[in-house]
Amino acid sequence: MTLSIRPADATLGAYVTDVKITALEPAEWRAIESAFHAHAVLIFPDQHPTRDEQVAFGRRFGELDPLVAQSGTVPISNQFGGKLLDNDHPVKHMLLGNEGWHTDSSYMPVSARASLLSAEVVTEQGGETEWADMRAAFEALDAPTRDRISGLAAFHSLKYSQARAGYTSAPSSAYGYGIELDDAPLRPLVKVHPVTGRPSLFIGRHAFNIPGLAPAESERLLDDLLAFACQPPRVLVHRWQPGDLAIWDNRCVLHRARPYDPAVPRVLHHTRIAGDPATESALAAPTAR
């Protein structure tokens, strides 16, 4: 087996080379699966997968999320039909919102297990993707803070996060894939990974309104946790090259896109893997909000 897995300099992430995702030997797949749980983010340079190949590789990690169930992949792009999106286009607003730290589908009844991105057209400057290690972030908190947040939960809403970022176009119409957004599911601030058993912060831009706290106190706590968590050495930065493929574990990782010149085309392709309802379902909301 020639496969090589090189850990990144951050507390998360590894680069996987000398392998083709379309022709994995059983031992290679076992090594990749183990590395996924250990490193939470895997980057495969120079893969150039077709959309079907990306979906087939994603399915090794689980079933497709409802967001991509029909098409398998969705474009993460600032252009449509060869034309750049207008600044007031709902999809453009979604792309700008995604420059905030988040985890995929936390605003849905079942949050996502994993996400994949492959790069087709990239920018020379900006447009990187960053991932933040929420396992290491939880471990780095002082004991009183860990004790305080371990019993807390927060609601998650894409409509809330887009509005807070200043984008008011309806997120459901921006996606346009027939997915109805849930009305702010409740999720614990600390999530225990169902495979590794490691606790991690489960926060991000979609999180708001911790039951039992005043709105201002809730917002301050969530903002403070996010600012603390997303710092070196807990952050991995990747500058895309055409053909790169990345997969990450939404159960313990936050991610964000970095800004880039909106006049420059950028085209990536996204596949999302559904979470297990036994471990990724929302909590029962309290009777009073």
CATH number at residue 219: 3.60.130.10
Any domain includes 249: yes
Any domain includes 286: no
- Does pLDDT of 175 surpass 80? no
What pLDDT, on a 0 to 100 scale, did the predictor assign at position 162?
93
Tell the residue number behind the tokens 């909106």, with chain if given.
262
What pLDDT, on a 0 to 100 scale, did the predictor assign at position 151?
94
Any domain includes 285: no
Mean pLDDT of 208-232: 97
Which pair of tokens denotes residue 24? 């994995």
What pLDDT, on a 0 to 100 scale, did the predictor assign at position 288?
46
Any domain includes 282: no
Any domain includes 174: yes
Any domain includes 280: no
- The structural domain count of the chain equals 1
138-150 pLDDT, tens per residue?
A: 999 999 999 999 9
Any domain includes 181: yes
Q: Distances from the Cα of 230 to the Cαs of 1, 102, 128, 221, in angstroms? A: 35, 11, 15, 14
| Pairwise CA distance, residues 266 & 119, whole Å | 9
Any domain includes 199: yes
* Average pLDDT in the chain: 93
Percent of the chain with pLDDT over 70: 94
Predicted confidence band at 249 (pLDDT cuts at 50, 70, 90)?
Answer: very high
Q: Distances from the Cα of 144 to the Cαs of 33, 141, 150, in angstroms? A: 35, 8, 10
Between 123 and 181, residue with greater pLDDT:
123
What pLDDT, on a 0 to 100 scale, did the predictor assign at position 169?
65
Domain limits at 54? 4-275
